[in-house]
Structures are given as C-alpha cells and as structure tokens.
C-alpha cells in the first residue's frame, strides 16, 4: 500500500504551474498588486496574446490568479497575499549571480536600479527602501525581529501617531518578515507593511516610477521619515 503523502500530487501540480518562464514572468509582474489586462501581460512577457491566454487560464484554474471582467476587457491579479508571499519567497531563492546579471540595455539597467532602490512587493514596500524602513523601526524598538517579526506596543502607538491606520482585528498577521530578493534581508510585510505602503503612497511620501513596481521617496517623504524615524535622506535613494 502506498504511503505517499497525499499532498505530493498537489505540490507537484503547483510547482508545475510556476515552472514556466512566461507564467513566472506574469506572476512577478503582478507583484505590483494591481490588475493587468491580458494584452499588457502578453507585451510584458514578450509572447502573443493567444499564447498568453492559455497560460492565464492555467494560473486561474490553479488558484494563483483571480480573474475579473469589465465589458470586453479581462483583468487578472494575484489571488491573494499568500500567493504574493509564495512568489516573492521563491524569487528570493534565485542565485545572486542570476539576479545581478548585467542588463542588456540602458533602459533595463535603469529599471533594475529603480526596482532595487524601492518597489512595491504586492502591497508592501521592498528594495533598499523597504529594508531601511524595517531597520529603522527595529532600531527604535517599534518592531522586534529576535523572536519573529512582531510590532511592539510602542510600534502600534507609533503607527497611530504617524497617521497610519492599522487593522488590528483582521485574520492577516500584523507583521511578517518577507525576504527581499535584491537586498537578501527581510523587510516588513503583513497588515502593518501593507498599511505603511498604502499610507506612504496616499500621503505623497512615495510615488510610483513609471507604470511598474518601482517607487521613490519624495522630498515630503524625506522630511516626514526623518522626523518620524530619523532616517537620513541619502539612505532613501
């Protein structure tokens, strides 16, 4: 009688969904937390729309993507934060030598540098910006990393003083470590990370760069983060 773990088939199927370059490119693009049309993803992945349609169908059927339709347009987004965490965690395991391969064009080099400086990771801040914020929160006793990621009481109070609304009643973890694939260190995720990212964009502390995931800190953001966390402007760029 077989003693194989009944989850084995499901895990193999999940791995097979991701183990395709076109589908992987789509999942990474959707880490910006927004909904994309099939046409936008096809151009991003460099494949025909008809080719991408089949890939999206598999990802939706496999539970990794959620589909929305508005009129004739078909939009897809990551199914939820758990899928985003899975994709980001897997991306962080890519060897450093692969991540740091020399870009083929100046445009690609500029885009890569912008992503490394600061970006959204689904719904929270990542890149050097994300780790600098995480380090500042930790150094001031607002976030603990020694026993797993957790906001301290002082941290919860700090979010309130900063005007960042926290959902303390949700099922999502308040704070969670997310391994940053460019910095190779953890940044803050979870409900607190999402709230901080949302507020930073809405309040004008950060703005998006182009149409991708990259973000940058504004002059207003530099002043606010210096006042709130003592972060030097040079550390934010």
Per-residue pLDDT reduced to its tens digit, 16-74: 999 999 999 999 989 888 889 988 999 988 999 889 999 999 999 999 999 988 777 78
Strands (E), the chain: 36-37, 65-70, 73-78, 119-121, 124-126, 143-144, 150-151, 176-179, 186-189, 206-208, 215-217
What is the Cα–Cα distance from 113 to 221, expressed in whole angstroms?
Answer: 20
Write the DSSP symbol of residue 183. T
Residue 116's H or E segment, with its range, is: helix 106-117
Segment 134-157 shows an average pLDDT of 93
Distance CA 135, CA 168 (A): 22
Confidence of residue 235 (pLDDT cuts 50, 70, 90): confident
| Rounded CA separation 13/1 (Å) | 23
**Class for the domain spanning 8-79:** mainly alpha
Q: How confident is the model over 91-117, as a mean pLDDT?
A: 68
Position 192 scores a pLDDT of 95
Question: What are the backbone dihedrals phi and psi of residue 62, each rounded to the nearest 5 degrees, phi first?
Answer: -85, 0
pLDDT at 26: 93
Output the pLDDT for position 201. Answer: 95
CA 108 – CA 209 distance, rounded (Å): 14
Tell me the average pLDDT across 208-232. Answer: 90
C-alpha span between 34 and 123 (Å, rounded): 9
What are the extents of the domains in the chain?
8-79, 86-236
pTM: 0.74
Tokens of 70: 């508005």
pLDDT of residue 31: 87
Buried b / exposed e along 183-217 (16+ C-beta atoms within 10 A): beebbbbbbbbbbbbbbbbeeebbebbeebbbbbb
Rounded CA gap, 160 and 154, in Å?
10
User: What confidence score (pLDDT) does residue 3 get?
Assistant: 67
Question: At 108, is the pLDDT very low, low, confident or very high (cuts 50, 70, 90)?
Answer: low
pLDDT at site 99:
56
pLDDT at 223: 95
pLDDT for 218: 95
Instruction: Give the model's pLDDT for residue 167.
Output: 83
**pLDDT value at residue 92:** 81
109 vs 122 pLDDT, higher one: 122
The closest alpha carbon to 132, from 212, 226, 40, 47, belongs to 226
Q: What H or E segment, with its residue span, contains residue 135?
A: helix 127-139
- Over residues 115-137, the mean pLDDT reads 91
pLDDT value at 169 more than 90: no
* pLDDT averaged over every residue in the chain: 87
Q: Which of the two residues, 227 and 33, has the higher pLDDT score?
A: 227
In this prediction, residue 144 carries a pLDDT of 94
Is residue 14 within 8 A of residue 90, CB to CB? The reply is no
């Amino acid at each position: 009688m077989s003693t194989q773990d009944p989850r084995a088939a499901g895990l193999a199927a999940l791995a097979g969904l991701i183990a395709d370059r076109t589908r992987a490119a789509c999942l990474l693009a959707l880490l910006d937390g927004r909904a994309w049309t099939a046409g936008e993803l096809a151009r991003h992945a460099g494949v025909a729309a008809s080719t991408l349609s089949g890939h999206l169908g598999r990802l939706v059927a496999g539970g990794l993507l959620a589909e929305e339709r508005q009129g004739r347009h078909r939009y897809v987004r990551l199914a939820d934060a758990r899928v985003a965490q899975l994709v980001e965690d897997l991306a962080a395991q890519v060897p450093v030598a692969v991540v740091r391969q020399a870009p083929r064009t100046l445009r690609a080099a500029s885009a890569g540098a912008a992503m490394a400086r600061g970006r959204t990771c689904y719904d929270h801040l990542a890149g050097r910006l994300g780790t600098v914020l995480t380090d500042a929160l930790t150094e001031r006793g607002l976030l603990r990393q020694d026993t797993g990621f957790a906001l301290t009481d002082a941290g919860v109070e700090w979010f309130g003083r900063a005007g960042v609304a926290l959902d303390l009643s949700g099922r999502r973890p308040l704070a969670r470590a997310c391994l940053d694939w460019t910095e190779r260190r953890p940044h803050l995720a979870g409900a607190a990370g999402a709230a901080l990212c949302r507020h930073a964009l809405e309040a004008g502390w950060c703005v998006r760069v182009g149409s991708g995931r990259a973000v940058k800190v504004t002059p207003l953001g530099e002043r606010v983060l210096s006042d709130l966390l003592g972060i030097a402007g040079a550390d934010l760029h």
